[in-house]
A and B are shown apart, each in its own frame.
Chain A
């Protein structure tokens, strides 16, 4: 393929070649423009599409592949969606401050030792204990590579690095069921296509979990995600000492039903229903 393309590309007048390289709209794999930021990999539309489809399929089969979910997030965020999110940040004073300061969440900027000393109900403490429980570190997040606009790449990076704070805020656990509910919330709030596409993972849930998702968690996610202001505009670094309850109040987010508690109740209800059914069967037989 490339040998076929090469002569044609060489025949292009110089002016046209320069102009296509100058813009980020169209270029061939033979004339890939230089990266715009450190980790940047400029992609053609075909490459971006192929990566999106590939990462979507494989991450559905292997939901633990965070790198693929990250790739899916980046390749489906343009056109429109990441720009919309960036504009949402630019419309808010705090969002603008974040874009200006460009804080990064790493184990260096977020000292876990310090966070563990915070009051138990604070955002920082909750975040630290959440990281401890899940045995992850803030450094496990990949760098954004496939978004062409440098500022939008930071917005995606910020969203990714703040995802763990969203867990802290909503109290949703990292089991697939909780993760899907949180993604639904993020979709309603950020409109990023990857968060919406992640909802396909609902097919991997057990029947009971799935019905719980449709009846409880999806309605919660949509109403809260739409009602609360853009959570990308929360300057988490400044909220570490705020109590989780207070922050949730300020953002207008209800705490979703406790997933573990709900599971217990459902289990009992199921048991009771089963007994009732058996009793009924006994009556009809008699």
Chain B
């Protein structure tokens, strides 16, 4: 993984698997596309019996149950009742897990407030196809092809980081955090100009990137001129991602970037996981990892209740999950938020200090190993 700062040409950090402390691993982290994850989850659900799943259904309301009719009958007044569009009678839950995203209806139902702020930034995502390095020379083809598309690249531009994460084959996943106006302009570009713009964002100076991102069209031509006019040392070609050849049709999308942390992760018969509990800036790619860690922790808490004959929905039994994850997630949210703010500054003394800091960290393999173990989950 190669990370560098657009405002300071010398400032970079490299992470590679096998550095001190992580000798037995072959990769820092793996990228997977959402459809793969969804498929695996569905396959797992099918193997578990009996599980009811409701397809093509929408939750229409979540309420507490009606008050007890008369003494001696079942009292479900403190149980969440979920009404869906496909069933007539509500589902009564002993434990309702909200994994329903940043605007979580479950969280609203449980009256759990969230704190945080919106970054004035949007994340532009796309799947792109990479060209082979240095054209199709025979000597290049002899080089081990497997090694060619395994490095992740991230460059910190003043408006936000742009990252390219390797996917199988010649594909890569793009995440570009930028201002809402620029995100709108990027989405409006034609595919060739969009690809040129991404190439420019990794290779050209901040001034060029700013200028080109404001052009309504013609980025292809502009990039060709700037690449030839800019002094890019040839031997450093591996410091940049491969040239992006094309953008997968319909894959360009954007979403607003926010930071949120729910005051509580659990309530009476309610638990929140993933984005419903916390939302993070994507610059460190931690959103999914944090959600997965939530689930693992919640499963442990539930297992404990079950094996000890407890009620899995009682808040007291769920608190093990919250006490394990809340502070941990809060720390990660804080670190990523500060990184975003640190790299949002263009004032030269700050740029100098952060370059010094990054350069120092780059020299300590042990520290980098620890950081990788934190980031890789």
A151 within 8 A of B: yes
Interface 9-residue window, one of B108-116, B157-165, B205-213, B249-257 = B205-213
- Chain B minimum-CB-distance residue to A86: B207
Chain A residue contacts of B208, Cβ below 8 A: 90
Contacts of A74-106 to chain B: CB distance below 8 A: 87, 90-91, 96, 99-100
B225 within 8 A of A: yes
Check if B207 sits within 8 Å of A149, measured CB to CB.
no
A90→B210 CA distance, assembly (Å): 10
The contact of A90 among B211, B231, B233, by CB within 8 Å, is: B211
Check if A100 sits within 8 Å of B233, measured CB to CB.
no
Check if A87 sits within 8 Å of B207, measured CB to CB.
yes
Give the shortest distance, in Å, between A174 (CB) and chain B (any CB): 34
Q: A90-B208, A91-B210, A96-B211 are in contact. Are A23 and B231 (CB under 8 A)?
A: no
Check if B233 sits within 8 Å of A22, measured CB to CB.
yes
Most buried by A among B205, B210, B211, B235: B211
B74 within 8 A of A: no
Chain A residue contacts of B205, Cβ below 8 A: 87, 90
- Chain A minimum-CB-distance residue to B10: A25
- Chain B minimum-CB-distance residue to A18: B235
The contact of B211 among A91, A100, A149, A150, by CB within 8 Å, is: A91
Give the shortest distance, in Å, between B214 (CB) and chain A (any CB): 10
Chain B residue contacts of A22, Cβ below 8 A: 233, 235
- Chain B minimum-CB-distance residue to A100: B225
A36→B229 CA distance, assembly (Å): 12
Give the shortest distance, in Å, between A239 (CB) and chain B (any CB): 22
A150→B211 CA distance, assembly (Å): 21
Check if A91 sits within 8 Å of B233, measured CB to CB.
no
For this complex, into which size category does the number of interface residues on chain B fall? 10 to 19
Check if B207 sits within 8 Å of A150, measured CB to CB.
no
Check if B207 sits within 8 Å of A91, measured CB to CB.
yes
Check if A149 sits within 8 Å of B233, measured CB to CB.
no
Report whether over half of chain B's contact residues are helix, strand or loop; otherwise say mixed. Answer: helix
Contacts of B32-88 to chain A: CB distance below 8 A: none
Report whether over half of chain A's contact residues are helix, strand or loop; otherwise say mixed. Answer: helix
Check if A151 sits within 8 Å of B229, measured CB to CB.
yes
Chain A residue contacts of B225, Cβ below 8 A: 100
A99→B208 CA distance, assembly (Å): 12
A98→B225 CA distance, assembly (Å): 13
A150→B231 CA distance, assembly (Å): 8
- Chain A minimum-CB-distance residue to B234: A22
Contacts of B219-236 to chain A: CB distance below 8 A: 225, 229-231, 233, 235
Give the shortest distance, in Å, between A281 (CB) and chain B (any CB): 59
Chain A residue contacts of B230, Cβ below 8 A: 151
Chain B residue contacts of A149, Cβ below 8 A: 231
Chain A residue contacts of B207, Cβ below 8 A: 87, 90-91
A22→B231 CA distance, assembly (Å): 12
- Chain B minimum-CB-distance residue to A92: B211
A149→B229 CA distance, assembly (Å): 10
A99→B222 CA distance, assembly (Å): 12
- Chain B minimum-CB-distance residue to A151: B229
Chain B residue contacts of A96, Cβ below 8 A: 211
A149→B230 CA distance, assembly (Å): 9
A 116-150 to B, binary, CB cutoff 8 A, 1 in contact else 0: 00000000000000000000000000000000011
Give the shortest distance, in Å, between A229 (CB) and chain B (any CB): 15
- Chain A minimum-CB-distance residue to B235: A22
Check if A99 sits within 8 Å of B229, measured CB to CB.
yes
Interface of A toward B, CB cutoff 8 Å: 22-23, 36, 87, 90-91, 96, 99-100, 149-151
Interface of B toward A, CB cutoff 8 Å: 205, 207-208, 210-211, 225, 229-231, 233, 235
14 A-B pairs with CB atoms under 8 Å apart are A22-B233, A22-B235, A36-B231, A87-B207, A90-B207, A90-B208, A90-B211, A91-B210, A91-B211, A96-B211, A149-B231, A150-B229, A150-B231, A151-B229
Name 15 extra pairs, CB < 8 A, besides A149-B231, A151-B230: A22-B235, A23-B233, A36-B231, A87-B207, A90-B205, A90-B207, A90-B208, A90-B211, A91-B207, A99-B229, A100-B225, A150-B229, A150-B231, A151-B229, A151-B231
